[in-house]
Amino acid sequence: MTAGGTGKTPAVAMLAGWALDQGYRVAILSRGYGAQNRQEILEVSNGKGKYADIRMAGDEPSLLARAVPGSPVVISRDRYRAGRYAHRKFGSDFFILDDGFQHRKLKRDLDLVLIDAAHPFGNGRLLPWGPLREPLNQLCRADAIILTRFRRVTRAERGGNKGGKIKGQGNSRLLPPMEDTLAFVKGNFPSIPVFLADHEPSRVVFPARGETHDPGFLRKKRVVAFAGIAQPRYFEKTLIALGADVIRFRRFKDHYLYTGEDIDALIRIKEKTGASCLLTTEKDWMRIISAAPGYGDLAYLSIRFRLHPGHEAVLRMISDGFRE
């Protein structure tokens, strides 16, 4: 429902991996936002280790191609044509649309809508005055709703927010994070099943060194961090929660294409402050590979999408929908 920040990419990776394990012939279809591609259809991955240039494909499709190496990834503004392409070339019969709720001209078997539980609707206004892609009453089209980043947080993590008014939806409603978001969704859309999920750190990767560590590796490490994603504050808070000493944090615009000069400037900050490493997100790393492929102290934090225990029924919904 909102532009960016709900954690769709890790969710798509989880669903695609699950579907492959179930024996489905999966293809991921994406619009390829931020890609420099001008082709009507671009094969980002063939599901067998062959990948398109990252700048041509965009960061999210490139990340998905590597996160789910057994699934082809195809981008096109026309997802129907992308699906037909994947069906003809790869025999795909199970299609996951990354960011497809508003792609109304394509018939879907199941619509899963992700909502950030802590910051669900921003100021409640439609683009470009707010983050909403369409009015909230359109949630009635969803077959299931998944509240992401659903966990108990401190008031400090909430930014001291005791609840913010959602404007522009008729009578204003108070929607403080987490539990009240759940109550709002269940109260206004009682017939739609709601599932809970979270995004959790899975590993710290130093690509140039070929090293991988558990997230606990960051505890008490002095780091210079940066991110060019929709909600960079989540990344910063995650690092702090892991016990990292974030001595400097730089924000870039979403889908920012880094240059060698950008990375050189960050390296100078790291060296001047005596930090142990530069740290970014895995999605940002997709846009950095060509700019800093050999710098050994640059790492990224990988995130995985995890359904809460007892909420795996959404996977059964998918299986049932496929059989129908």
Gap between the Cα atoms of 269 and 293, Å rounded:
18
Asked if the domains at 8-197+307-323 and 203-303 fall in one CATH topology, the answer is yes
DSSP state of 310: T
Domain ranges in the chain are 8-197+307-323, 203-303
DSSP state of 137: G
Average pLDDT, the chain: 89
Gap between the Cα atoms of 3 and 163, Å rounded:
21
CATH of domain 203-303: 3.40.50.2300
pTM of the model: 0.89
Rounded to whole angstroms, the maximal C-alpha distance in the chain is 60
Show the beta-strand stretches assigned E in the chain. Answer: 26-30, 42-45, 73-75, 94-98, 112-116, 144-148, 165-166, 173-174, 194-206, 211-213, 222-227, 245-251, 277-281, 298-307
Q: How far apart are the first and last CA of the chain?
A: 27
Mean pLDDT of 207-224: 97
Q: Give tens-digit pLDDT for 231-285.
A: 899 999 999 999 999 999 999 999 899 999 999 999 999 999 999 999 999 999 9
Would you say residue 289 has pLDDT above 80?
Answer: yes
Confidence (pLDDT) at 168: 37
Topology classification of domain 8-197+307-323: Rossmann fold (3.40.50)
Would you say residue 151 has pLDDT above 70?
Answer: yes
- Where does the pLDDT of residue 34 fall: very low under 50, low under 70, confident under 90, or very high at 90 and above? low
Which residues touch 151 (CB under 8 Å, ≥6 apart)?
178, 198
Gap between the Cα atoms of 42 and 52, Å rounded:
8
Structure tokens at 243: 């016990």
